[in-house]
Amino acid sequence: MKALADVPIPPDLSRRYGRTSGGRAWLGSLQGLICGRLERWDLEVDLAPGELPWNGHGAVVVPVTRKGAPAVLKVAYPHDEARVERFALRLWDGNGAVRLLESDAGTCSMLLERLDACRSLEDVPLDAAAAVWGGLTRQLGLRPDHRPEWQEFDHVAARAEQWSDDLPADWEQLGRPFPRWLLEAALEVCQTRGAVGRRAGTDVLVNTDFHFLNILARPQGGFAAIDPQPMIGEAEFSVAPLLWNRIRDLSRSDPRRGLLERCRDFSEAAGLDAEAARQWSLAREVENALSYASRPHHGGDLARSLWVASTLAGRTLDGLPAAHDLPAPGEAGPG
């Protein structure tokens, strides 16, 4: 087994988690967590000298081998989404999502099949991406059954009920950062779709962070989802991240129409209700906008969320940058 010194921590992960005492404590323990999993699962680090592991927003992902077979070791910062990820992956069992090989709740660690980190749906033309995304959404949309993993997930309708209380209070506390009509449009969605979701009997397992970069190619062909952030509820809740990503790929002549057409096209590819997807996406982007408004260095992200939300509401706000000048997620704020 390679020495721990051969498993460097990516600098942007260190910057992100070095800002709080809890984050610094996790960073300080990370080498030991990695070492423990390497030993427990009989893994060899598969990094070239000087090569960094991969990382997302909240985890380090180390290429490894086990008895010569490629895999990745993912060690996540302990938070709610990371704690429930393994339950969803266990239910999917490699069908439409990355296959879970081992997991350890105490260290928030998982051993996963190795996908091609250099090939995501981000680089696939949108027409083809819609077909891939739609097919995966159908695979991932499992209906609840008797298995105990289902007890671990929050419900989309409950999230909507929470937003009905939280969004108005946050909007006031943050100095009313956008017009009231947009807030009310989101609240209407929370009330109507939340109620529909409670009584419709159409609950499925929902990947709520199902955007282009979270869909990687399998070496043997096809694509699979990663980092699912699972919930239970209406599958249409999953469309929103497609709309706040790849905005620069929208038509320059009419980006507002292009956004609505993308919502429709991806929904139809997955067999979803495009109107329900539009409504959920509006509410999700208003919630995002309030989150960005609370962080002064995220003005570009706030502008993007307001553009998407108000466009979905049919009244694109004045005074925002042009659609193609809006930053992609992760570009505007600190890493």
Domain boundaries, the chain: 4-114, 119-325
N- to C-terminal Cα distance for the chain? 32
Known catalytic membership, residue 209:
yes
Are the C-beta atoms of 117 and 216 separated by less than 8 Å?
yes
Euclidean distance between CA atoms 219 and 233, whole angstroms: 32
Phi, psi for residue 141 in degrees, rounded to 5: -80, 60
Taking domain 4-114, whether its CATH number is 3.30.200.20 is answered by yes
> What is residue 1's predicted lDDT score, i.e. its pLDDT?
40
> What is residue 335's predicted lDDT score, i.e. its pLDDT?
44
The whole-number mean pLDDT for each consecutive block of 10 residues of the chain, a chain of 335 residues, reads 63 90 92 94 92 89 95 93 93 98 95 95 96 98 96 95 96 97 97 78 93 96 96 96 97 96 98 97 98 89 97 96 93 58
Residue type, 123: D
Q: Work out the angle between the directed axes of helices 255-269 and 274-293 (0-180°, nearest 10).
A: 120
Residue linked to tokens 């490894």: 64
Name residue 206's beta-bridge partners: 231
Residue linked to tokens 């998982």: 110
For the entire predicted model, the pTM comes to 0.92
Are the C-beta atoms of 136 and 205 separated by less than 8 Å?
no
* CB-based contacts of 310-317 (< 8 A; 24+ apart in sequence): 310/178, 310/182, 311/256, 311/259, 311/260, 312/243, 312/259, 312/260, 312/263, 312/278, 312/281, 312/282, 312/285, 313/181, 313/182, 313/185, 313/282, 315/181, 315/182, 316/256, 317/178, 317/179, 317/182
DSSP 8-state class, residue 300: H
- Report residue 167 as tokens: 């969004």
Half-sphere CA count of 4, side-chain side, radius 13 A: 10
Four-residue CA torsion sign, 59, 63, 64, 65: positive
Neighbour-count burial of 28, counting CB atoms closer than 10 A to its CB (0-12 exposed, 13-18 middle, 19+ buried): exposed
Half-sphere CA count of 96, side-chain side, radius 13 A: 19
Are the C-beta atoms of 27 and 10 separated by less than 8 Å?
no
Considering 46, 170, 203, 209, which one is annotated as catalytic?
A: 209
Reduce the DSSP state of residue 39 to 3 states and report it.
Answer: helix
> What is residue 245's predicted lDDT score, i.e. its pLDDT?
97
Strands 59-66, 44-45: pairing kind: antiparallel
> What is residue 50's predicted lDDT score, i.e. its pLDDT?
85
Reduce the DSSP state of residue 315 to 3 states and report it.
Answer: coil
Neighbours of 5 (CB within 10 A): 7
Residue linked to tokens 């930053």: 327
> What is residue 6's predicted lDDT score, i.e. its pLDDT?
65
Angle at 251 between CA 306 and CA 329, to 5 degrees: 40
Same fold, 4-114 and 119-325: no
Domain 119-325: CATH superfamily is Aminoglycoside phosphotransferase (APH), C-terminal lobe (3.90.1200.10)
